[in-house]
Structure 1
Amino acid sequence: MRALRIGLILLVILGGLAVGADRLAVHVAEGEIASKVRTTQGLESDPSVSIGGFPFLTQLVGKELESVELGVDSYAVRVDDQEGAVEDLTIRLEDVRLENNYERAVAARATGEGTLSYEEMQRLTVPEDSTFGVAWGYGGEGEVELRVTVMGQAVGPAMTGDITVDGDLVRVSVEDIPSFADIPVIGAIDGIDDRVRERVDQQRQLSGLPSGVEVEGLEATEDGVTLRLSGTDVILTGAAAPE
C-alpha cells in the first residue's frame, strides 16, 4: 500500500511538472507568434496572443494548433486612398497549420470583429479642406445617424441610414433625406439638396485586412461601426506560399 501511495505521489509530481512545462512552452510560443505577427502584418507593436488547446506540446509536434486568438488595439486599414484605424481588433483562428519549419502559420478558418469609431468614419468620409461635411453617430436599431455640418457645426435635422458591405465596398444609404433649401445660410447654396445627398449616400472601398480575412457584415453600435470578419486560409505569420 505504501508503495502504491509513493507511486501515486510520483505520478502527481511528474504530471504537475509536465503541465508546467507545457504551459511554459505555450507562453514562449505566444511571445514568438506575437513577434512574427507584428512583422508579417506590419504592426507598430506586438499583438496579444492566446493559444488554445491542451496539451500544447502535442499540437506543436503535430504541426497544427487547435486555436489562436489575436488582439490588436489599433489596426491600420485603407479606406479608398486614406489610412484608417480599426480599434479593438480581435481575430480567432482555428486549425492553424505550422509550415516551412514553423516559419509560416496558416489558419483554416477565422472569425473576428473590430470597430471603426464614428469620429474615424467622419474623418475618412469628409475631405479635410471641406467646410461642408457630415457628423456621424449612432441612430439606434443598427442604423447610423448623420448630421450635416458647416464649419464643424451641425445644421438641419438628423438623418438615419443603413451601412452595409458588399465585398470590399462599404455603402451608406439614407432613404429619406429632407430638403435643406429652407435652412438659414446653407439653404442659399446652389443645389444644396443634391450636395447633401452626395455627402450622406456614400460608397467607400475598404482594404488592408490580413490576407484571407474579409468583412462579412457591418453593425452600427453606440461605440461605432462594428466590422464582423471571417476568412479561410488566413496567413498568420510568414509570407504567402508561391503559386
Structure 2
Amino acid sequence: MGKGLVVGLVALGLVGVGAYVADGFARDSAEDSAAVLLSQRLQVDGTPDVRIDGFPFFPQLLARSLDDVRVSARGVELEGVEVTDVVVDATDVSLDQPYQVGTLRLEATVPTSTVEQVVADRVPVDVAVDGGMLRASGEILGIPLSAGLVPRVVDGRLQVDVQDVTLGTGELRLEDLPGDVAERLVGIEVPLDGLPAGIVLEQAVVVPDGVRVTASGTDVDLERLP
C-alpha cells in the first residue's frame, strides 16, 4: 500500500507538471499572437510586449475572459502624434464579441520634440525640459524670449500653459508681450486624438523625456480602437 501511494503521488505530480507546462505554453502562444495582432492593428515602434497574468491560464481561456493583461511598447503613433514608453494595463478582457475591457489604464510619454512642434506652429521656439516644467526659448522681433510651460489636462485634453515670460532681460506679464504673441501662447493644445474611444486623459507630469500622460476608462470597446 505504501509503495502504491508513492507511485500514485508521483503520477499526480507528473500530471501536475504536465498541466503546468501546457498551461504555460498556451499562455505564451496567446501572448505572442496578441503581440502580432497589435503590430498589425496599430503603428507600433518595434514589437510590443504582452503579458497575461493570472494562474492558471486555461480557466481564463475557457471563460473567454482574461483577468489581467499588460501591454508595453517602445512607441505608438496616435493619428500622427508619436508617444513613447507606452504601458497599458487591462482587466476583464473579453475574447468574444463584443470585445470589451472592464478597466483600462494607459501611460505614455509625449516627447519634448512633439510639444516643440505644436508650440512652434504658433511661436518659433525650441522646447526643453527645465526641472518640473518645460522651457520654450526663441526670439520675438530679434529679442530673446524665454517662457515656462506647464502641462495640464483640461476636460480630457492635454494643454500647456505659460507660467512665466522673459523678453530680453526683463520678466513680463503675458499680456505685455508685443503684437499677438500673447494670444499665440495661450491655450496651446497637444492633440492626442488617437486615444481609444472611452479612454479619458487624466494627468500630465513633466518627465526627463517630455510629458508623461495617464488615461483610463471602463467598459472600453476594443472594436473601436483607432
TM range (shorter): 0.7 to 0.9
Secondary structure at the aligned position of 1:178 is classed as strand
Give the alignment partner of residue 174 of structure 1, picking from 146, 162, 170.
162
- Which residues of structure 1 form unaligned runs of 5+? 183-190
Structure 2 counterparts to residues 73-222 of structure 1, below 5 A: 73-78=74-79, 83-100=80-97, 105-127=99-121, 133-140=124-131, 142-149=132-139, 156=144, 158-180=146-168, 193-204=178-189, 205-222=191-208
Kindly provide the CA deviation profile for residues 154-197 of structure 1, in whole angstroms up to 9, marking residues without a partner as x. Answer: 97364323211123432221233234498xxxxxxxx9634443
Contact residue 93 and residue 110 of structure 1 kept, 8 A: yes
For structure 2, the 5+ residue unaligned runs are 171-175
Larger deviation, residues 195-204 vs 108-117:
195-204
Query: For each residue in 1:179-218, what CA deviation from the matched residue of structure 2 results, as whole angstroms up to 9, or x when unmatched?
Result: 4498xxxxxxxx9634443444342232011233232111
- For the aligned residue pairs, the C-alpha RMSD in angstroms reads 2.8
Contact 1:133 1:199 in 2 (8 A): no
Name which of structure 1's ranges 17-26 and 3-12 shifts more when overlaid on structure 2: 3-12
Output the TM-score relative to the length of structure 2. 0.83
Work out the CA distance in 2 between the residues paired with 1:31 and 1:57: 16
Matching residue of 1:188: none
Q: Is the 8 A contact 1:41 1:210 kept in 2?
A: no
Matched residues in 2 for 1:55 and 1:72: separation? 25
Distance in 1, matches of 2:208 and 2:143, equals 22
Taking structure 1 as reference, are residues 55 and 137 closer, same or farther at Cα in structure 2, changes over 3 Å only? Answer: same
Distance 1:192 1:180, change over 3 A: farther
SS across alignment from 1:148: strand
Q: Is the 8 A contact 2:75 2:83 kept in 1?
A: yes
Structure with more relative contact order (C-alpha pairs < 8 Å, separation 6 or more): 1
The one-character-per-residue Cα deviations of 1:49-100 (angstroms, maximum 9, x if unpaired) are 111101111011011111111112221124xxxx220011110001112213
1:46 Cα deviation after fit: 4.5
Quick one: distance in 2 between partners of 1:229 and 1:26?
27
CA distance in 1, matches of 2:128, 2:35: 34
Moved more, 172-181 or 222-231: 172-181
> Distance between the aligned counterparts of 2:187 and 2:138, measured in 1?
14
Q: CA deviation at 1:112?
A: 2.2
Aligned partner letter, 2:129: Y
What secondary structure sits across from 2:55 in the alignment?
coil
Between Structure 1 and Structure 2, how many residues are aligned? 217
CA contact (8 A) 1:94 1:109 kept: yes
